[in-house]
Structure 1
């Protein structure tokens, strides 16, 4: 049984969405439907979902972009539903963080089996005690995602919620460059032309607490003209 798992379907074809939603609800899932990529991202930010089903050809924000955006914010399973059967699309989707790829037309029973498999794997991952252990980095930094705590050389750092969100987002995606606009959208969950100044202030405060130098960074490096990236070395 699904244990009333909550699913988000992002599909612009109304008839396909109706068929899939009706089937999955009969299977015991809670299902929300979004008809555009942008609507799907907004819905994802407003509620807790156990799995997201994403069509590739979406208006406003395509499925590839939606996968990448959600994956930066969450480890929730992502399943692509697409009429594109070529290997290049499958590879790109998986590289952007999708966990599975189902080609249209598909069997509803096969879709149910794929969803159940991803949910089992995700639940095992979340219950795995090894995923709750702190991550230790060179020069004394430790990040504990289970308790949302950070220490440096054994001393607990008093981070604000936004500082924690910035650090954990970048640390979970090491060496990936985040623009100020992307950080503002991910952490503050809104777009704003003045958001870059807010990000700059919070990054400066976070660096001060990490005793990190702008010129010779140990943890948060400035990529001039592009943004920031986390470069901490895992021990």
Structure 2
């Protein structure tokens, strides 16, 4: 029971009755549960707290479950369990391709829900325990990123980044060599829909590069993919 009490679960489900049943059952099983009724509300809850597992419905208002899974997976390795009335293979495959760990088709038994939750939590706790001492990632050219304590260093000097600059860097660094469009960066970091002519990301990238002493023409960390967006190319040290 003690291990369960440490585990916080986020349920993102717009059907009140289903959400209430899952929440009450998992509470009785000893877990700490937060419930969100829309995709955007769930994303905001996820950003504000630390969860051990997330249960996501696919058909959500404001932000659908597929988008939510993709967005969460860019930020975290937390287990993602999809629950949905959709039982088509394409929906399952898409959900898993976007980073979900498992899929439960409605209706399901509470016994099966508990078994899936416990299984994923055991694996996740082993994973986090194994990596809890690996707090800082080191790269060539003097860059060090402490993701746990949200600190960035160049040549052992702490950089004073704004929250948005840090969020952009962390998103890129956690997904190295993956190119993000400016619109994707804006929508993920600012949690707002992008509009044509928005120069916000460009301004923040320029400021971030200046602080990191990263020359745009000879980039060591953040590379511009012309006409597309940006990607992180920092070389990790073994």
| CA distance in structure 2 between the partners assigned to 1:68 and 1:155 by the alignment | 33
| CA distance in structure 2 between the partners assigned to 1:139 and 1:181 by the alignment | 29
From 221, 225, 230, the counterpart of 1:228: 230
From 64, 72, 75, the counterpart of 1:73: 75
User: Hey, what does 1:135 align to over in structure 2?
Assistant: 137
Indicate whether 1:159 and 2:160 are aligned: yes
**Number of equivalenced pairs:** 234
User: Hey, what does 1:101 align to over in structure 2?
Assistant: 103
Cα distance, 1:81 vs structure 2 = 0.7
After TM superposition, list the pairs within 5 Å mapping 1:116-127 onto structure 2: 116-127=118-129
Range with bigger deviation, 142-151 or 73-82: 142-151
| CA distance in structure 2 between the partners assigned to 1:71 and 1:44 by the alignment | 11
After TM superposition, list the pairs within 5 Å mapping 1:24-35 onto structure 2: 24-35=26-37
| CA distance in structure 1 between the partners assigned to 2:123 and 2:54 by the alignment | 14
Cα distance, 1:185 vs structure 2 = 4.0
Is 1:38–1:60's contact at 8 Å kept on the other side of the alignment? yes
From 16, 19, 31, the counterpart of 2:18: 16
Range with bigger deviation, 217-226 or 130-139: 130-139
| CA distance in structure 2 between the partners assigned to 1:54 and 1:147 by the alignment | 27
| CA distance in structure 1 between the partners assigned to 2:205 and 2:95 by the alignment | 31
Query: TM-score, normalising length from structure 1?
Result: 0.84
Cα distance, 1:4 vs structure 2 = 4.9
Cα distance, 1:192 vs structure 2 = 7.0
- 1:146-172: CA deviation from partner (whole Å, max 9, x where unpaired): 4434344x4324231423322121100
| CA distance in structure 2 between the partners assigned to 1:131 and 1:177 by the alignment | 29
Is 2:142–2:156's contact at 8 Å kept on the other side of the alignment? no
Is 1:184–1:196's contact at 8 Å kept on the other side of the alignment? no
